[in-house]
Amino acid sequence: MDEPSPDSSEDDLHPSTMQETPWEAMQNSSKRDGHRCVLSHWYNLQYMMNLSHFEPGNPLLHGLVPCDPVEEARIIPIERKANTADSAQQVKVEYMEMILSRFGKTDIFEDLNADDLRHMSNMMSLNPALHQFFDSLDMCLTAVEGQSNTYRIEVLFPGMLSNIPENPVTFTSNEPNLPLPSPVLLALHRACTRVAHLSGADQYVDELLDSDNPWHVGGNWDR
């Protein structure tokens, strides 16, 4: 019996007629992003390990190819009340709700379809450090006008961009049928980030997120 390749399992095991499961969404997001962090472009270490087993002759394994753990980050958190055991996730959701309420958007989480938030268009592949910056609202992506799926990476401190080779960055898909990260959800995340770093808000943000986000550092957002 032939062993599956690192990329083949999703389509073979899950018929296209079935609704996408959370597991499928994560797998498809990784495939869409080329098994790399979409900002640093470093390959997923687990993917490289899979290649060494399934495709030992792959050229990626025989050069100085940067790799790192890569996680599937959610642009907007999906759990609101159900997963109370995950205190870090609950804090993120509650804090984003508080920020959005400043715009009068108190019902935004009800307006957003839960299935849409579980969809791969609410996901992107990031290494753990960039994932932490993104979740801590210390990083956001701003759409570049007139350039489809192209974003300027905005951060709290310039050094946070040290491992990012290009800015702006353009998202592309290795699979034409797999949707890219949603511009609408990225804009919503950016709105939360900008409000979080308004003058006087940083100390409160740090106190709220400190126990769950040890890398979050206070400071003034470059407006």
Q: What is the pLDDT of residues 174-216, one digit of tens each?
A: 888 899 999 988 988 888 888 777 754 555 445 544 534 333 3
What does the mean pLDDT of the chain come to? 76
Please write down the HEC assignment for all residues of the chain.
Answer: CCCCCCCCHHHHHCCCCCCCCHHHHHHHHHHHCCCECCCCCCEEHHHHHHHHHHCCCCHHHHCCCCEECCEEEECCCCCCCCCCCCHHHHHHHHHHHHHHHCCCCCCHHHHCCHHHHHCHHHEEEECHHHHHHHHCCCEEEEECCCCCCEEEEEECCHHHHCCCCCCCEECCCCCCCCCCCCHHHHHHHHHHHHHHCCCCCHHHHHHHHCCCCCCCCCCCCCC
Q: Per residue in 29-54, pLDDT tens? A: 999 999 999 999 999 999 999 999 99
Distance CA 66, CA 108 (A): 39
Contact between 124 and 133 (Cβ < 8 Å): no
Query: Between these two residues, 16 and 197, which has the higher pLDDT value?
Result: 197
Nearest CA among 102, 97, 106 for reference residue 79:
97
| pLDDT score of 91 | 67
Q: pTM of the prediction? A: 0.72
If you average pLDDT over residues 49-67, what whole number do you get? 94
CA distance 80 to 61: 41
- Sign of the four-CA dihedral 131, 133, 137, 141: negative
